[in-house]
């Protein structure tokens, strides 16, 4: 039997009060996302032309780079396999939360599983999934304990959704679009098209949900959201979670791999394109957040221009 | 509604050490298929998705063909089914979380993503049926019955590092879900309304995979367990049978006798007689007994030995 030892301080967990159990639609736009997710269901094995991937047409350094790039994307996508069930449970445990996000999150999680299968298959085709970052320190960027964080009663659920379902999923969507713009391999392009279609709903969910909640936030709540989102951007994005070139001290191997993957049309993008995406997206997000009464500061890094 | 830093005053919480309090360690990350039969279940589920909104022939449901008493009973029955399915949305994701934290074969995590979605579809379709029959009911008519339908403690057990996962799956999946599945097979035989029957079949199709998951896991893991560990599994199954199933979680006639459970039993009888999807004690009793005996027989070769169970309405099984 497996043994996992809890060594961190005990968490505060909400005690669920199940009844009355509302199941009617209260957030119709999010119910629409759930319905369109069901309608847009796809099958990674049937709906992607895997024969067109043809990894043998690329030389060995490119194949090696592609397996590292897609392995790293897999490390990111795997987050959903523990985070989404935790987020779903938190919605269920907190009194008064609507049924629509709960239904929706079950679909999101299946889509994340399909993405995992696709990304894994790509990494395997290019020589085999790489099980961990080249530098152990870089592992910290991925081991974020998000499942613990969202289940903790002291964590504001609205703030969590703003950070991770709205901002972070939105950025992931835009980066996927950027990679798609530079992808020439037909199989990679097809996978990214499917992933983008799903992630459009993932990001829409986050923004729709917080937009529905924000009118009830106090000034204190808005400051909390801003504080947590700012910390997350500094601790996650600027530590190279999505873009390893932002953390060359620990993610040099991954950053170099991305350069080759991008130049071969295998689903990456030049660094300048990713930087433009981060700057443009964060600017747009800042404006959307301002409409919700949340002030996001500017971010400075010696790896990229102020954004 | 306040954010949660203020919410503790409004909603109870507990401070408890759980598996959540283990530092995340996802590397080395593998997605090899160590339990290929479970990976295949995931793929089968991917191929067999359905949508309550578009795949059920709702036009065939004629609520006016039933009396008001029948509609009222049936809406309570389908509401109760929705509560039961919701329990899996609210609690079973903790199992998926645990698979990840314990670095169990990735097949289990992948399958559970779609399993939760299926539970959502079940809750959605049961809610929709109740709505069409006069309106979904948000809570048990009598609060006494809440104890039988609100929770069976899956989340709490799953997050407890001292409760072995093997016992939870044996109890929750190989026992509770197995019983539910056999009752569904029986409902398919006795339900006459075409829409109610269609719903039963859609749910039953998914549930067959849910049950298979449990047995595939148990069969794979039991070879590696010590007699002491198998005894822990036995204890989990015994608790599930005695405290949950024989307390009326799935079958209201098994709940302790009180005005609330009597009302539920009566609603079930009316729904059953109308052919709208429920069953009654006399019809279900032999199913329940046979299922429990089959579970015992199926666990025995795995080294899990279940004792006789007693319930005043069933005798000793």
Pick the closest to residue B95 from B34, B150, B177 (CA basis).
B177
Looking at residue B263, its pLDDT comes to 84
> pLDDT by residue (tens digit) across B238-280?
999 999 899 887 787 898 887 777 888 899 999 999 999 999 9
3-state secondary structure of A152: coil
Say what the pLDDT of residue B150 is: 60
Q: Tell me whether residue A118 is in a domain.
A: yes
Cβ A64 vs Cβ A261: under 8 Å: no
Establish if A223 belongs to a structural domain: yes
Average pLDDT, chain A: 97
A36: contact with B, CB 8 A cutoff? no
Residue B219 has pLDDT above 80, yes or no: yes
Least confident of A182-186, B7-11, B43-47: B7-11
CATH of the domain at A207: 1.10.620.20
Residue B248: the pLDDT is: 84
**Cα separation, A155 vs A150, whole angstroms:** 6
Nearest alpha-carbon partner for A240 in A251, A253, A224: A251
Predicted pLDDT at A281: 98
Helix axes A169-181, A271-291, angle to 10 degrees: 150
Q: Write the CATH number of the domain with boundaries B35-47+61-316.
A: 1.20.1260.10
- pLDDT of B4 over the 50 cut: no
Calculated CA dihedral for residues B47, B52, B53, B55, nearest 10 degrees: 60
Q: Is B149's pLDDT higher than 70?
A: no
Chain A interface mutation, best of B25, B26, B160, B209, highest count of A Cβ atoms under 10 Å: B26
The residue range of the domain holding A160 is 59-291
pLDDT band of B8, cuts 50, 70, 90: very low
The pLDDT value given to residue B85: 94
Kindly tell me if the per-residue pLDDT of B9 is higher than 90. no
Contact B26 A92 (CB under 8 A): no
Contact B21 A8 (CB under 8 A): yes
Phi, psi (degrees; rounded to nearest 5) at B286 = -65, -30
Q: Is A94 in contact with A157 (CB distance < 8 Å)?
A: yes
State the pLDDT confidence band at B1, using cuts at 50, 70 and 90. Answer: very low
Partner-chain contact B21 A11, CB within 8 Å = yes
Contact (CB<8Å) B21/A23? no
B271-307 residue pLDDT tens: 999 999 999 999 999 999 999 999 999 999 999 999 9
Instruction: Identify whether A8 is part of a domain.
Output: no
- What is the full DSSP assignment across B160-229? -TTS-HHHHHHHIIIIIIHHHHHHHHHHHHH--SHHHHHHHHHHHHHHHHHHHHHHHHHHHHHTT--HHH
pLDDT for the residue B153: 80
Any CB–CB contact under 8 A between A219 and chain B?
Answer: no
Q: Are A33 and A97 in contact (CB under 8 A)?
A: no
Rounded Cα distance, B15 and A70, in Å: 39
What lies within 8 Å, CB to CB, of B258 at 6+ separation is B144
- Helices assigned H by DSSP within B17-105: 36-47, 68-91, 93-101
Q: Please check whether residue B38 is in contact with residue B109, taking contact to mean a CB–CB distance below 8 angstroms.
A: no
Q: What is the dihedral of CA B227, B151, B72, B52, to 10 degrees?
A: -80
Give contacts of A154 with chain B, Cβ < 8 Å: 4-5, 8
C-alpha span between A100 and B150 (Å, rounded): 20
Contacts A15 to B, Cβ<8 Å: 11-14
d(CA B106, CA B103): 8
Q: What is the DSSP string of A42-74?
A: --TTTSS-GGGG-GGGS-HHHHHHHHHHHHHHH
Q: Which long-range contacts (CB under 8 A, 24 or more apart) does B281-286 make?
A: B281/B251, B281/B253, B281/B313, B283/B186, B283/B190, B284/B183, B284/B186, B284/B251, B284/B253, B285/B313, B285/B314
Q: Which of A147, A210, A224, A251 to mutate to test the interface with B (most CBs of B within 10 A)?
A: A147
A224 touching B (Cβ < 8 Å): yes
Summarize pLDDT for B230-248 with one digit per residue, the tens: 999 999 999 999 998 998 8
Vertex A163, ends B30 and B2: CA angle to 5°? 125
Three-state secondary-structure class, residue B305? coil
Model confidence band, residue A107 (pLDDT cutoffs 50, 70, 90): very high
Quick one: pLDDT at residue B145?
55
- Per-residue model confidence (pLDDT) at position B5: 39
**Pairwise CB contact (< 8 Å): B12 & A15:** yes
Boundaries of every domain in chain B: 35-47+61-316
Location of structure tokens 């979380």:
B97
d(C-alpha A202, C-alpha A206), whole Å: 7
Write out pLDDT tens, residues A119-133.
999 999 999 999 999
- C-alpha to C-alpha distance for B198 and B185, rounded to whole angstroms: 12
Q: Are strands B315-316 and B310-311 parallel, antiparallel or unpaired?
A: antiparallel
Residues B202 and B125 sit within 8 Å (Cβ to Cβ)? yes
Res. A276: pLDDT tops 90: yes
Is position A207 within any domain? yes
The pLDDT of residue B2 is 35
A12 forms beta bridges with: B15
Q: Which residues of A touch B112 (CB under 8 A)?
A: 85
**Cα–Cα nearest to A125, from A62, A178, A182:** A62
Retrieve residue B22's tokens.
Answer: 């283990």
Domain count, chain A: 1
Alpha carbon distance A56, A53 (integer Å): 9
Q: What CA–CA distances, in Å, run from B25 to A142, A146, B174?
A: 9, 12, 30
Identify the pLDDT of residue B249.
78
Buried b (16+ CB within 10 A) or exposed e, A84-104: bbbbbbbbbbbeebbbbbbbb
- Give A20-69 pLDDT, tens digit per residue: 999 999 999 999 999 999 999 999 999 999 999 999 999 999 999 999 99
Q: Is residue A103 part of a domain?
A: yes
Average pLDDT of A239-258?
Answer: 98
Task: Give the pLDDT score at B151.
Answer: 61
3-class SS of residue B15: strand
């Amino acid at each position: 039997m497996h043994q996992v030892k809890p060594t961190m301080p005990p968490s505060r967990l909400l005690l669920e009060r199940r009844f009355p159990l509302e199941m009617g639609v209260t957030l119709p736009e999010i119910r629409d996302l759930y319905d369109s997710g069901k309608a847009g269901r796809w099958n990674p094995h049937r709906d992607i032309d895997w024969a067109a991937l043809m990894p043998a047409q690329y030389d060995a350094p490119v194949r090696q780079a592609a397996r590292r790039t897609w392995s790293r994307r897999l490390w990111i996508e795997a987050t959903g396999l523990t985070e989404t069930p935790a987020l779903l449970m938190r919605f269920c445990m907190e009194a008064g939360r609507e049924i629509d996000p709960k239904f929706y999150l079950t679909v999101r999680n299946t889509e994340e599983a399909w993405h995992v299968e696709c990304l894994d298959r790509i990494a395997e085709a290019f020589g085999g999934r790489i099980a961990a970052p080249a530098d152990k320190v870089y592992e910290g960027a991925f081991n974020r304990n998000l499942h613990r964080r969202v289940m903790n009663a002291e964590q504001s659920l609205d703030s969590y959704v703003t950070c991770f379902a709205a901002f972070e999923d939105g950025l992931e969507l835009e980066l996927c679009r950027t990679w798609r713009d530079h992808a020439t391999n037909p199989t990679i392009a097809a996978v990214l098209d499917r992933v983008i279609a799903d992630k459009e709903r993932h990001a829409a969910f986050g923004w729709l949900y917080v937009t529905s909640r924000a009118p009830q936030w106090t000034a204190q709540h808005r400051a909390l959201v801003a504080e947590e989102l700012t910390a997350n951007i500094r601790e996650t994005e600027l530590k190279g979670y999505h873009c390893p070139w932002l953390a060359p001290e620990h993610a040099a191997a991954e950053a170099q791999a991305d350069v080759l993957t991008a130049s071969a049309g295998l689903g990456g993008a030049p660094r300048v394109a990713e930087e433009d995406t981060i700057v443009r997206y964060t600017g747009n997000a800042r404006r959307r957040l301002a409409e919700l009464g949340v002030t996001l500061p500017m971010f400075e890094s010696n790896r990229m221009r102020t954004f | 509604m306040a954010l949660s830093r203020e919410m503790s005053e409004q909603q109870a919480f507990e401070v408890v050490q759980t598996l959540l309090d283990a530092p995340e360690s996802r590397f080395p990350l593998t997605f090899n298929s160590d339990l290929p039969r479970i990976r295949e279940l995931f793929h089968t589920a991917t191929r067999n998705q359905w949508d309550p909104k578009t795949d059920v022939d709702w036009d065939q449901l004629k609520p006016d063909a039933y009396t008001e008493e029948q509609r009222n009973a049936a809406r309570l029955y389908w509401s109760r089914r929705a509560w039961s399915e919701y329990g899996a949305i609210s609690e079973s994701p903790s199992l998926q979380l645990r698979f990840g934290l314990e670095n169990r074969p990735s097949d289990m995590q992948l399958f559970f993503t779609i399993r939760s979605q299926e539970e959502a579809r079940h809750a959605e379709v049961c809610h929709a049926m109740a709505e069409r029959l006069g309106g979904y009911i948000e809570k048990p008519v009598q609060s006494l019955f809440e104890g039988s339908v609100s929770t069976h403690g899956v989340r709490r057990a799953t997050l407890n590092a001292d409760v072995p996962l093997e016992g939870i799956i044996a109890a929750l999946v190989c026992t509770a879900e197995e019983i539910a599945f056999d009752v569904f097979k029986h409902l398919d035989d006795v339900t006459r309304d075409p829409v109610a029957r269609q719903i039963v079949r859609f749910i039953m199709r998914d549930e067959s995979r849910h049950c298979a998951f449990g047995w595939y896991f148990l069969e794979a893991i039991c070879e590696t367990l010590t007699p002491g560990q198998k005894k822990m599994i036995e204890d989990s199954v015994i608790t599930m049978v005695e405290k949950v199933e024989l307390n009326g979680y799935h079958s209201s006639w098994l709940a302790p006798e009180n005005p609330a459970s009597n009302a539920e039993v009566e609603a079930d009888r009316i729904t059953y007689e109308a052919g709208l999807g429920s069953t009654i004690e006399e019809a279900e009793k032999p199913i329940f007994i046979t299922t429990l005996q089959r579970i015992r027989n199926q666990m025995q070769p795995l080294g899990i030995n279940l004792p006789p169970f007693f319930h005043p309405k069933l005798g000793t099984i």
